[in-house]
A and B are shown apart, each in its own frame.
Chain A
């Protein structure tokens, strides 16, 4: 059973301190929602854990099953079992979705999947997320709609089967149908019970489809309140006003 442990994490971007001591433990089988106002540092947490070069760790640690993620390169973290579903997946010209996915699966599994098996998995994954098969031949994220990009992120999640998934505002920009499809994908992924999910969101909407076990409120670069699913309902009713005042 896997565990992601974030201890007293401090992160800066270009000398500006964004995270100011984040403590959070995500265990396999658990779903944690991180909620908070814009600019509270939610996405910084996601990208810092994944190792984006823009973010500088100024203190603290991040361990995955006892191994120091912060010592690893971005790709080593992914191979160690971390996955980040991005809010704005970047367009990469000239690389087809199917080539990209095969390279990613090969890297994460440490060996190339059998072609026939991979094609079968890919088709099943795309069907489940209502993705047009022609998609596989398109360039990576190029010209994808917002909803297509998010479905494609979840497709990767299901193919790569990480130990811990960090989902950064996967719900943003989705209409209700797409939100349902994407949520079903996340639920399939966590349904195995041996993976942990850190769901970052601004809105409570997705939490109606993906029920969290824990809710953490983020403000001013750290967690300011924690609770169960009932905390999300409180936020739904009252908004973030109380926290933003505190943080200021």
Chain B
């Protein structure tokens, strides 16, 4: 597979499985200009796989889990890498994990995939989650430990199927993680993604969505908390190439401390053939201290005149003095008032996590961040 022809859209420039189709990023490219390349520990320039990530799966009984080699024909059917690191991960992984939810099966419990890093050295991975027609499942991806890790994750959601994914980036402070999440949504399928990024020195997560037939529905939520020195980047791409599909993106973050850096890019393309598309994307950042920085760039490219709805919004700002005044005027001390407002701001999204245990865990982690 060679370099695809450049599509009409300017937001999705090229994709290829060949590493040499992508130059080593210099930092001047639009897609790399926010990322501190010097902290990628070589992931973008062909570092050998010297590290290791342990993948363990606690699966629902209805679900099959396989570890497969590079030659498995099911891999790489739903996407093509769109940047250098994604192509590097595709060309460098040794074993892939394939999780299949069989046709019409309804998973009776969440399937938890734990990816544990064990220190120095780059590692590459590949994960395929395949939900066959009319099946339903919840998948939790948990990233823990120390790692220099690049991977591609494919979510293939069949006709009428429902997949809910919660991806928790809870790395140690020194971890570097560059990850692509590719969701391919078939006819009348539903995909809900909830990303929680808290740990790591540098995390760059790029969730993308494509549709193969009308009626698909994607809901992408994300919460991040950036501490001093951390770079947490989320780059979303929703490519509406089919009629009457929906997408909703809502990412919210809080930043505190010197050189805390959040980047959010939200690209939505509505192609000529995607009539009746309904899409909205939102990013909000709460900047809690001096020295923190949020870059937020929503891009909406509409190539048809027949949309049901299309909107985007981005807002980054400080805590609202009026909120704090109101709470303090009721006797609530400043620090607690602040904590309540931030918890409320992120909590509105966290409430959407349907798994009680995980939702409470995420709340507890956010509380812990606030207590720092």
Contacts and interface: CB of A to CB of B under 8 A. Distances in A.
A77 B332 CA distance: 10
Given A53-B321, A95-B341, A95-B344, A78 B326 contact: no
A164 to B, nearest CB: 13
Given A78-B328, A100-B340, A92 B323 contact: yes
Residues of A in contact with B, size category: 20 to 34
Given A93-B345, A94-B348, A107 B329 contact: no
Interface string A47-78: 00011111000000000000000000111011
B6 interface: no
Interface stretch (A83-91, A194-202, A234-242): A83-91
B330 interface: yes
A84 B325 CA distance: 11
A78 B329 contact: yes
Interface in B299-327: 320-323, 325-327
Interface residues of B, number: 24
Contacts of B337: 75
Give the most central of A77, A89, A90: most B CB within 10 Å.
A90
Contacts of A84: 329
Interface in B316-372: 320-323, 325-334, 336-337, 340-341, 343-348
B321 A107 contact: no
A108 B331 contact: yes
A94 B325 contact: no
A104 interface: yes
Nearest to A95: B344
A73 B332 CA distance: 11
A156 B325 contact: no
Nearest to B323: A92
B348 A92 contact: no
Contact of B327 (A51, A73, A92): A92
A103 interface: yes
A75 B325 CA distance: 8
A74 B336 CA distance: 13
Contacts of A52: 325
19 contacts: A50-B329, A51-B329, A73-B328, A74-B329, A74-B334, A75-B331, A75-B332, A75-B334, A77-B329, A78-B330, A78-B332, A86-B329, A90-B325, A92-B323, A93-B345, A93-B348, A103-B327, A108-B331, A160-B330
Interface of A: 50-54, 73-75, 77-79, 83-84, 86, 89-90, 92-95, 99-100, 103-104, 107-108, 139-140, 156, 160
Interface of B: 320-323, 325-334, 336-337, 340-341, 343-348
